[in-house]
Amino acid sequence: LAPIEFEIVAYDFGIKKNILRDLRSVGCRVQVVPANTPASEILSRKVDGIFLSNGPGDPAAMGMAIDTIGELARSGTPLFGICLGHQLLSLGLGAKSYKLPFGHHGGNHPVMDLETRKVAVTAHNHGFSVDAKSLPDGVRCTHINLNDKTVEGIASADSPVYSVQYHPEGGPGPRDAAPLFDKFSDIMRALS
């Protein structure tokens, strides 16, 4: 394990224990908070980073969380979301979501990183997706699903904020995307 270097908050929308292990492995001490924790409470803690967990459901039905995450995304604090956390971050930044006809499930979805052009085999378990056409100015699609071209990742041009739709902590399952946790620690290190 890496020595503790960062204090972060993880919003629990249905967090998995393996996520906490992966965050700890890159030097994070994690404070898990309920999904309804206000942004002001998190920002008063002066943490090094914020993590938005996976979870079930329709992201558009979580209005309070969307508003909170929008405020956190504008704070300048590094923020990383996965699965539902990705969808909520996208909506907090102004995008829209939609229900997929069949959803994405299983550990065999090829996802391309649009910057590196590398393809990772990824684990999925979701029924909604971010609408690529609704991404606002300053937010770019960073990853796409090669099966159906849906948005699999976003990043903000204005702040240290990014997310992915799939599960980099997937276990059992592919671990191709595990370096996304290292990316989070690299961003926090660069800003500290």
Instruction: Just list the catalytic residues.
Output: 83, 167, 169
What burial class does residue 70 get, using C-beta atoms within 10 Å of its C-beta: 0-12 exposed, 13-18 middle, 19+ buried?
middle
Peptide bond into 56 cis (omega under 30): no
DSSP 4: P
Structure tokens belonging to residue 176: 């191709």
Interatomic CA distance for residues 155 and 41, integer angstroms: 24
Structure tokens belonging to residue 53: 């967990």
Please report the DSSP string for 29-42 in residue order.
EEEEEETT--HHHH
Interatomic CA distance for residues 11 and 31, integer angstroms: 9
Structure tokens belonging to residue 71: 């405020």
What burial class does residue 137 get, using C-beta atoms within 10 Å of its C-beta: 0-12 exposed, 13-18 middle, 19+ buried?
exposed
